Amino acid sequence: MNIRNFDLNLLRVFAALERERNVSRAADTLGLTQPSISNALQRLRQQCNDPLFVRGGRAMEPTPLALAMTDPIHQALRLMEASLTLATGFNPTSSKHVFNIAMSDVGEKVLLPVLTDHLVSVAPGIRIDALRMATSMYPDALRTGALDLSIGNVSLPEVNFFQQHLFSDRYVCILAHGHPLADEPITLERFLSLEHVIATGGNAESVLQQHLAAQRMSRNVRLSVVHYHMAALVVAKTRLIATVPENTVRGIGGLRILPLPFELPRAAVRQCWHRRVHVDPANKWLRSTISALMTNEARED
């Protein structure tokens, strides 16, 4: 393949097909016709000497070569977009930028409503894709450009990464309004003896388990779920209790929120990014917007 004769617009078609796995949806994404996408795919196949995407049921499945090309092509497109942004400046009022952000439960609960409301007013063309992935995947996703930001109670490696504190949250005990002990303080003895639902998708369980193990104490765990809000919904309908960050259960009906019978470190929610986007105007704008919104939220609270 000779890069001098390669049509770089084909990279956009490849990225759209890889993301949508459907010719029609890829055409809609790029504002092109289906025949145009099909023609571009044929040219890509000829250039790469590989079918790249083959029909599998209702979807176009990538071949091994296409899978190997995916990350480099997405990264190349992001770098080109960043270069054009540097040349033309970033104008949020007219931008059609899509930001990929990995968020924890508490990040979604606290940030997404105010950020979405703000963007509707000042940047109506910008889209936020809030993603969920294991925190162990954050560094590689930020490094390759699959993520623009991560938001949560997560610390990343110091080298090549930046982080900014957004807000702190305390861990609390929740139980149903109709629970027999709803109007009584949760003593340590009661806390340990009652049945618990735990949420494995956040840090509360690991922080709590570390504290209990250090004191050689254990709980009666009845149910395990992934998300804090699901734990809260279960608690509201049962006699189980749970330990969660306070902000994740604000506004959920049927709950009593009580202090824990011991001290735990507060959850520190941060936004984190890779150095490759540290001076990128679009990413800088997003980070400063999020920081300002969270500062205002904390002031109002």
**In this structure, what DSSP letter does residue 52 have?**
-
List beta partners, residue 197: 223
Q: Which domains does the chain have, with CATH numbers?
A: 3-87 (1.10.10.10), 97-167+268-300 (3.40.190.10), 171-265 (3.40.190.10)
SS3 of the chain: helix, strand, coil, percent, to 5: 50, 20, 30
- Rounded to 5 degrees, φ, ψ at 39 are -65, -40
Looking up tokens 């709590």 gives: 208
Per-residue pLDDT tens listing for the chain (301 residues): 556 677 888 999 999 999 889 998 888 888 889 999 999 999 999 989 999 999 887 888 999 999 999 988 888 887 777 666 665 668 899 888 899 999 988 888 889 999 999 999 999 999 999 998 888 889 999 998 899 999 988 878 878 899 999 988 999 999 999 898 878 888 999 999 999 999 998 889 989 999 999 999 999 999 999 999 999 999 999 999 999 999 889 888 899 999 999 999 998 899 999 998 998 889 999 999 999 998 765 434 4
Cα distance from N-terminal residue to C-terminal residue, the chain: 59
Residue 112, SS3? helix
Give the closest residue to 126 by CA, choosing from 285, 9, 266: 285
CA–CA dist 248, 25 (Å, integer)? 35
